[in-house]
Homo-oligomer: A and B are copies of this chain.
């Protein structure tokens, strides 16, 4: 186990009806907020918009709205949000939505007190020193952004999807009500579940040894999310199943599962190239990339992949043939993705091989960097992984 620092102070307010507390929670920070969400309709349909606004107004909070966030949140709207905050002297941001909304809010939060271009943080030209506090009401369990220290934004002009990290951007509070998930379409449910499982596996596939406890914690989250995903696909109003997935989605990405180990994240980084260029759903991209990554790297640590197969995918261990165990585990993961409606090959995303080289180079900053930690991947490795995903 490696030395580590762990601190995650986000206050989780979990359960039925908790969105009605948002005014009270915001009140501790500000009387005037930027309310960030999707285009009109999405949260209105849930009744969430009315309930949140009522709660905020009841607490005497002035609300200025920034609507129109889309999947793979765009930089332009971040600029718009920064402008609104500056013009109106706003010092708290409330994100009401999923990962793209929360990441838009986080990006505005670091952009407001910063003199330069907020893209500097994504381009690694600057490190946040001051941010506005943010809070969230989560409507899609997937990104883990509701307690994480990361934000991902897409710059449309160059099809660049980039992330930055800072301990300062963890939300002050996040409101998680599984009832708000009842209207998610099946494809989005499956994408979210795939993202959560990927966050978990990015931690699990670590080359650090003596990490038994965090291995088991990863297994706990993974198995519970896998178990309940088919239940919510069958009945999207299954509160109890949603509760397990929603809380699992947070724990998968709140850094508890990374304590004492190094996460990989190569599959996430490779997928960002797909969704940056083709605007595919992040979860669907992961369902394609993760198995290809596994096939490419598993020989570097057969024992770990066998443990994955046995303990996470319930494969019998073939004592005389560990590699067969591994391959069976990967196959069972693919089978699971298919069972929840995810593609497992690039053609399922409508992507052909004409831009593999370009994406492999872009992911590695023109071949100057490697991705991942379990195995460090250069641009040729990434190209090969794309090839395996065809």
Contacts and interface: CB of A to CB of B under 8 A. Distances in A.
Interface residues of A, number: 40
A3 interface: yes
A13 interface: yes
Contacts of A1: 15, 240, 243-244, 247
Interface stretch (A85-93, A180-188, A209-217): A209-217
A9 B9 contact: yes
A169 to B, nearest CB: 16
B213 A224 contact: yes
A297 to B, nearest CB: 25
Count of chain copies: 2
Contacts of A4: 12, 14-15
B259 A247 contact: yes
Contacts of A223: 216
A16 interface: yes
A12 B7 contact: yes
A1 B6 CA distance: 26
Contacts of A220: 213, 216-217, 219-220
Interface in A1-44: 1-18
A56 interface: no
Interface in A180-239: 209-210, 212-213, 216-217, 219-221, 223-224, 227-228
A260 interface: yes
Contacts of A163: none
A259 B212 contact: no
A256 interface: yes
Interface of A: 1-18, 209-210, 212-213, 216-217, 219-221, 223-224, 227-228, 240, 243-244, 247-248, 251, 256, 259-260
Q: Which 3 A-B pairs have the closest CB atoms?
A: A3-B15, A216-B220, A9-B9
